[in-house]
Structure 1
Amino acid sequence: MVTPRRTLSALACALVLAGCATGPDYRKPQVDMPAAWTPEAPWRPMQPQDAIARGPWWERFGDVQLNALQQQALAGNQTLAIASARLSQARAQLDVVSAGQYPQASIGARASRLRISGNRPLTNYNSPNYATVQNDFALGLNVSYELDLFGRVKRSVEGAAASAEQSAADFENTRLLLSADLASNYFNLRELDIELDVVTRAIALQRRALELAASRHDLGATSGLDVAQQQALLDNTLTQVDILGKQRAQYEHAIATLTGTPAPQFSIAPSTAAIAFPAIPLGVPSDVLERRPDIASAERAMAAANAQIGVASAAFYPSLMLQPSYGVDSRNWGSLFNAPSVLWSLGVSATQSLFDAGRLRAGVDFTKGGYEAAVATYKRTVLTAMQEVEDGITGIASLDRAYAQSQSAIASARRVLDLANSRYDGGVTPYLDVITAQQSLLNSERQAAQLMGQRLLTSVFLIKALGGDWHERRDAPSQAGPVAEPGKPDAS
């Protein structure tokens, strides 16, 4: 005889077992991290606040056009739309899996009229069969609930939750990559605008020099060689305009696609306005683990893979289902809800695999292999992050020095050109010295423009490596100040 005490004891045991889960509990692997970065001045430590939204980091460059393009890309980029849809799917899947933790109830109704065969097999040889026609009305409530004694449902929910968080990190990573890609293309375009401005000013200078050489030749002061040399230099410089224009158009088309705009309907007016170099603070390497969305995604992938080990391990144990039901059944509608029409059932179904030729064991081994791969991916992502930050730090420091040196080179090239013109006018040197000085100035100014572009691109690269924006006073001075246009004196 089953007593209430025994029933309570059995229920208590089931609840205790339900608290257990197969498979290992998740623990994030340790990655060897250096104590600090090795920055050069003027880098400074930062205090990470990863719980705060990263925000529009591109605004730190102080470019209104870039800010508008970024907002347009966030609203219209199709890659970001795909990532958003994937995130919605992952969250919906979490809701689907989480529903397995609760009983599932359904209600069913049936109304039919049927004829029973008079020639059906006899169940009672003392009573003959008769063909009868009758109604059948039924209404029932069915409940099913899986007793999660071995943690299959619990691990499934853990895995789905980790996958949803991974999708959220993937969305943030897509957003970061989109904004960085757009900023990179935009700064490449602006660098070409400055180069085109340099080349255009050089062409004007070379045309005046060609007119001067032609005038001196007409007066018989010089040979035709001087005119031919100057014309060759001018033709070569004119060729560069078409080459730079082609490159600029390609960056413009790329920006159009990133913002979700058809390329034929998109254009950006040329501009040589100064762009600020933002002061980028640095923290210790562990900050990268907290900030970068791709690292967060890799870490959540490990948690999901670990949960799948528990799901696969639970298949070794019985699957228990509670399936109570309650309802009414009658051949007459009027008596459907009478006491004699009530029917009910209460039972437990259990399924246990006895022989599967190693299928379950192979499934566990498969999930363990997936977890090891996820761990390796996580560690690789962390190492890559540290490499990218170090590359960004050293790159910016080197480019700052190179850009400062390029300004000195431009000033020196201008002095050389002035001296060459004076000596040529005095008949001391041949015109080839003037040609050489002109070409040297053009090369120096274009090199300065290219260094400025590389410095901006490296800033974007480092911000991306750090995981996005940081949080400090917005009126903090920039590290290198506004960018001076190559070939023009600084405001200072």
Structure 2
Amino acid sequence: MTMKRRPGLFLLVPLSLAFCLPSCRSTERFVRPQMDVPEGADATQDAALSIHTRPRWWQVFHSSNLDRLEERAFLYNRDLAHAAAVVDKAAAMASAEAAGELPQASLKAGAARQELTKGQQYSQSLPERGRDLWQASGILSYEVDLWGKLRMRSGAAQADLLASAAARDAVWLRLSAEVASGYISVCTWQEKCDIIRRVHESYEQTCSMYEKRFEQGQYPELALRRVQAERDKTLAQLRKAENELSKAESILAVLVGESPRAIISGGKTRGREELLSMTPPAIPAGIPADVIDRRPDICEWEMRLRAAHERKEAARADRYPSLVLTGELGHVSTALEEVLNQPTRLYDIGGSMLQTLFDGGRKRAALDAASAEYKATEAAYEQSVLVAFREIRDALVERRQGAAIYDATKSEVDCLRRSWDIASRQYDAGYIGLMDALDTHRSLLNGELEMADAEEMRLNAVVKLCKALGGGWKGS
């Protein structure tokens, strides 16, 4: 009595290994590095906020022009568009890696000319030694993920996708801060131009009066030349301020994605509103507990660290045996018209295990490289955390000092305005000379320009703090 051979019996050993071997070794799970951070600043979330869920922190300024510029920048800025395209690329690569965990099916069709021996020709009663072979078959293959290698590679690709999304969010946050600072700079230079222009117009009127009286012999030439010098000096200051205003507008135009033609024409971003005279919003004391997860740059490095960990584990698992199950079902015939007939059917099913014995140290080197990449990324992650808290501290200090500088400068300008009011009255009454009046007016001009700088610093401190906190704070 003969027993029938069952093709499934050939798979017992590989399948048994497929189920038993994974229990021999487990991969290490990723754990966020522990750091000595301020109390209440450690969080446990893993992913960065998406662009659409991040708060519109710049709305604390209540500026419709700034809101419009921010939204335009998100639509047309090229850096943000590039970052979004990188996310799309990472998503495609993650899908490609995930496909490696699934069975692979393919279709094979071919034709060949076969030359037989004379013995084969006689035994098969063929009229000639050459014959054509036609084949059509489907192939199914599946690599059993014994050690988690494929899963780790897919996990690394997913982490890279999250890292690229966090990098896009970092570009978004940096862009929003640059647009806000750029708009504040434009408003500041507009304010300076207005201040200098008013003074220059005043000097123009005074100079015109002095020129008429000089021609009449009422004023000496020295007084006329002093007034003319002050007029020309303020005119030079005005031209410099207008030049800086033009530069600030060009920078802002690039940020919001203006066309080159629009940038050259200029003049589209003006509109001071009440931005410089507003009272900055109150900032809560302390550091938010979720600051690590609110900062997209930290989230980016954490995801890159996770990806490096997964690649290291995948490189380690790649040194162990791999098991591949294959199956093929098709037809082979010497006649094309009979290739799909039942008698020409064939199948092949089986499994194979592969273990590298010698590769010149390639896999060991790959593991060493992955381990080094993990250490380097870990250092970069820890550095990003340190930089984040340094930026928060600097922003808090600048916010406090900026408010103090603004208050002191405002008090100084109030005194200078009162001084100029008194000096102008005394000059008209003849109690003081022209030089004293000009000195007082010059001091007032410089004080008002310094006050505009203090206003810019005070508002930029809010921008820097919002950026350092990852996009404002709760309730902002």
TM-score, normalised to structure 1, is: 0.84
- Superposition RMSD in Å: 3.0
1:382 aligned to 382, 385, 399, which one? 385
Partner of 1:199: 196
Give the partner amino acid of 1:237.
T
Report which stretch shifted further, 164-173 or 226-235.
226-235
* Alpha-carbon separation, structure 2, partners of 1:458 and 1:19: 56
Specify the alignment match of 1:273 in structure 2: 273
Structure 1 letter corresponding to 2:88: S
CA distance, structure 2, for counterparts of residue 188 and residue 129 of structure 1: 93
Query: Residues 7 and 141 of structure 1: is their aligned pair in 2 closer, same or farther, counting only changes over 3 Å?
Result: closer
Query: 2:190 and 2:286 mapped to 1: Cα distance?
Result: 35
Q: Give per-residue Cα distances to partners, 1:309-344, cap 9 Å, x unaligned.
A: 112112321222111111122234565444432211
2:139 partner SS: strand
Contact 1:108–1:140 (CA<8 Å) still a contact in 2? yes
Cα shift at 1:159: 0.4
State the one-letter code of the partner of 1:354: L
Q: Deviations over 1:338-390 (max 9, x none)?
A: 44322111222333222233332222111111111111111111111111111
Match of 2:242 in 1: 245
Find out whether 1:11 has 2:15 as its counterpart.
yes
Query: Are 1:58 and 1:183, in contact at CA under 8 Å, matched by a contact in 2?
Result: yes
1:40 corresponds to:
none
Counterpart of 1:81? 81
* Number of residue equivalences: 458
Q: How many angstroms apart in 2 are the aligned matches of 1:314 and 1:332?
A: 47
Aligned-pair CA distance for 1:8 = 6.8
C-alpha deviation, 1:5, in angstroms: 10
Q: Distance in 1 between matches of 2:40 and 2:114?
A: 86
1:435-478 CA distance string (max 9 Å, x none): 11001100111111111111222211111111114443x7xxxx
Residues 412-448 of structure 1: CA distance to partner in whole angstroms, max 9, x if unpaired? Answer: 1122122223333444333211111001100111111
SS in structure 1 at match of 2:106: strand
Change over 3 Å in CA distance of 1:420–1:20 after alignment to 2: farther
Match of 2:128 among 131, 134, 140: 131
Q: Among the aligned pairs, what percent are the same residue?
A: 31
Name the residue aligned to 1:489: none
Kept after mapping to 2: 8 A contact 1:206/1:230:
yes
> What residue in structure 2 maps to residue 365 of structure 1?
368
1:28: how far off?
Answer: 0.8
455-464 or 159-168, which deviates more: 455-464
Tell me, in whole angstroms, the C-alpha distance in 2 between the residues paired with 1:280 and 1:235. Answer: 44
8 Å Cα contact 1:57/1:469 also seen in 2: yes
Instruction: Indicate the residue corresponding to 1:91 in structure 2.
Output: 91
> Any idea what SS the aligned residue of 1:321 has?
strand
Aligned to 1:440: 443
The alpha-carbon deviation at position 283 of structure 1 amounts to 5.2
Tell me whether 299-308 or 421-430 shows the greater mean CA deviation. 421-430
Tell me, in whole angstroms, the C-alpha distance in 2 between the residues paired with 1:266 and 1:232: 32
Structure 1: unaligned runs, 5 residues or longer: 38-48, 475-492
Q: 2:62: which partner in 1? A: 62
d(CA) in 1 for partners of 2:268, 2:343:
83
Q: CA deviation at 1:205?
A: 2.5
Q: TM-score of the superposition, structure 2-length normalised?
A: 0.87
> Which residue pairs with 2:343 in the alignment?
340
Of 13-22 and 369-378, deviating more is 13-22
Displacement of 1:210 in angstroms is 3.1
Give the Cα separation in 2 of the matches to 1:322 and 1:99: 16
Matching residue of 1:481: none
Q: Note closer, same or farther for the CA distance 1:123–1:366 as it changes in structure 2 (3 Å cut).
A: farther
Work out whether 1:312 is the aligned partner of 2:321: no
Question: How far apart in 1 are the matches of 2:121 and 2:338?
Answer: 31
The match for 1:485 is none
Match of 1:153 in 2: 150
Structure 2 portions without partners, runs of 5+:
42-47
Q: Which one has the bigger helix percentage?
A: 2
SS at match of 1:414: helix
The aligned amino acid for 1:457 is N
Q: What is the CA–CA distance in structure 1 between the aligned matches of 2:427 and 2:415, rounded to whole Å? A: 18
- Give the 3-state SS of the residue equivalent to 2:137 in structure 1: strand
Between the aligned partners of 1:395 and 1:133, the Cα distance in structure 2 is 90
Q: Distance in 2 between matches of 1:166 and 1:269?
A: 34
